[in-house]
Homo-oligomer: A and B are copies of this chain.
Amino acid sequence: MSLNLNQPLFREKLTVQKPDNPRVPFANWVQFNNPPRPAPQDEREVVTGILTHEKRPRKRGRKPANGQEEPLNHVKAERQRREKVNQIFYALLAVVPNISKMDKASLLGNAITYITDLQKKLKEMESERNGPNNC
């Protein structure tokens, strides 16, 4: 119940990066079905984000411009960071046995209960080993 293994797991959007490939689970994750790096290869998004907060003191009224020259580095760095934590989420998925639901919060929760389970089991096994045993 509530776990479809033939389902997207962590939903993958990729609407900006790859307009095709609509339902492959996590196609931009490393070591899934790609060569070591999925080869970003398309920098053609050109986002031009304009954001106007109101009622905020705005520490600095800086912002050089929204000409897509300098902040492109930031975007790429954030992409990389995101991909990294998703990889690790995926690795966690492989290590925790009984996943109840396929979202990050549940996976994390299952991992925690699994850890405490292992800890408890290990501890009672230990106390059984050198306690009043049959020897």
Contact = CB atoms under 8 A, between A and B. Distances in A.
A51 interface: yes
Q: Is the interface of A mostly helix, strand, loop or mixed?
A: helix
A98 to B, nearest CB: 13
A131 B119 CA distance: 22
Nearest to A94: B112
Interface residues of A, number: 44
Nearest to A88: B108
A50 B53 contact: no
Contacts of A89: 108
Sort A-B residue pairs by CB-CB distance and give the 10 closest, nearest first. Answer: A118-B118, A88-B108, A46-B54, A50-B50, A85-B105, A48-B52, A95-B115, A135-B135, A84-B105, A49-B51
